[in-house]
């Protein structure tokens, strides 16, 4: 983001970790924000390379822990490349001694919301789950004073290491139109059970009852019937089903006779008839 109110350029440490960059010169500094009172700390500086269309640029940026956007390009960058923010034509014009580039301005940039405490939806990072094989069971996280706890499990036998500031997932705010419920919601469970019950055929119900009538414990009987009714089409013997497979249902014995084949003595009359 271009910021004419900032004298220097800065980049978020988390955003920097997603790129290939030069080493950070770790010399801590403090800057004052536009209000003249609030101070923020810079962990170090490094040379950042930015490509605008076909023009390659670079600038010394300060690396910070927290920023409202991934990167802020201040007046040091704007003056170095004589960048013109043409608001009338909604264009960003970049000038170098040998070339010129024009970029369109964003019509709308989503606002970044900062939460002090509350609940957020959590989506684990793809790399942790699919590539490293880790497990994160959280889908809703609670935090206080910008802090929360997330449990990460390693079900594999090989060790796995997470580096500092590794991205473990994305947290998004809850919308008022969202309806969140667990799989143990009794209302939904009863509704699903009713749907399965209504679609039962008499034949399926009879077979399920026959298979489960030997169970004496009422709780076990109820749990079993629920499971069987969830799969009631399997117990409907009134409908003939034929397995559709590409492999023929035969046993290839080659040129050998069947193992059960044996000769039986015949009378002379039967032998004559056979011949």
> What is the tens place of the pLDDT at every residue in 11-30?
988 888 888 888 888 888 88
Q: What is the pLDDT of residues 33-89, one digit of tens each?
A: 777 777 788 989 999 998 887 888 889 999 988 887 888 899 999 888 888 888 888
For residues 43 and 28, what is the distance between their CA atoms, to the nearest angstrom? 5
Which tokens in the block code for residue 224? 């079993």
pTM for the full model? Answer: 0.40
Report strand pairing: 169-173 vs 117-124.
antiparallel
Gap between the Cα atoms of 48 and 16, Å rounded: 9
pLDDT value for 182:
47
Which residue spans within 24-132 are E strands per DSSP?
A: 29-32, 39-42, 44-52, 55-64, 71-72, 84-86, 91-95, 100-104, 117-124
Task: Identify how many contiguous H helices and E strands the chain contains and give both numbers.
Answer: 7, 12
What is the mean pLDDT of the segment spanning 205-231?
86
Main-chain phi, psi angles of 73, to 5 degrees: -105, 110
| Lowest mean pLDDT across 88-102, 152-166, 237-251 | 237-251
Q: What is the mean pLDDT of residues 258-268?
A: 62
Is the pLDDT score of 180 beyond 60? Answer: no
Which residue, among 2, 1, 69, 16, has the nearest Cα to 47 in the 3D structure?
16
Residue 50 structure tokens: 């930015």
pLDDT in tens, 80-130: 888 888 888 888 888 877 888 888 887 655 555 666 677 888 888 887 777
| Token pair 């947290």: residue | 171
Structural domains of the chain sorted by starting position, each given as residue range(s) with its CATH number in brackets: 10-104 (2.40.70), 117-173 (no CATH), 181-268 (no CATH)
Is the pLDDT at 248 greater than 60? The verdict is yes
């Amino acid at each position: 983001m271009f910021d004419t109110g900032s004298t220097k350029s800065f980049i978020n440490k988390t955003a920097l970790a997603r790129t290939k960059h030069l080493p950070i010169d770790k010399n801590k500094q403090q800057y004052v924000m536009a209000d003249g009172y609030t101070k923020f700390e810079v962990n170090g500086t490094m040379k950042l390379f930015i490509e605008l269309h076909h023009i390659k640029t670079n600038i010394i940026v300060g690396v910070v822990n927290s920023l409202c956007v991934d990167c802020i390009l201040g007046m040091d960058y704007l003056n170095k490349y004589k960048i013109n923010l043409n608001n009338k034509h909604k264009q960003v014009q970049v000038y170098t001694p040998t070339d010129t580039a024009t970029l369109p301005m964003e019509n709308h940039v989503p606002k970044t919301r900062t939460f002090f405490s509350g609940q957020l939806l959590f989506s684990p990072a793809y790399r942790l789950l699919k590539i490293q094989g880790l497990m994160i069971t959280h889908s809703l996280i609670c935090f206080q004073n910008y802090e929360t706890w997330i449990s990460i499990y390693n079900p594999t036998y090989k060790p796995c290491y997470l580096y500092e500031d590794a991205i473990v997932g994305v947290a998004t705010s809850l919308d008022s139109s969202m309806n969140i419920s667990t799989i143990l919601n009794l209302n939904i469970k009863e509704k699903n059970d009713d749907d399965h019950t209504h679609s039962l055929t008499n034949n399926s119900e009879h077979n399920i009852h026959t298979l489960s009538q030997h169970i004496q414990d009422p709780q076990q009987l109820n749990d079993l019937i629920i499971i069987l009714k969830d799969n009631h089409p399997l117990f409907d013997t009134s409908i003939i089903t034929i397995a559709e497979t590409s492999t023929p249902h035969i046993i290839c014995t080659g040129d050998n006779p069947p193992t059960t084949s044996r000769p039986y003595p015949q009378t002379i009359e039967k032998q004559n008839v056979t011949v």
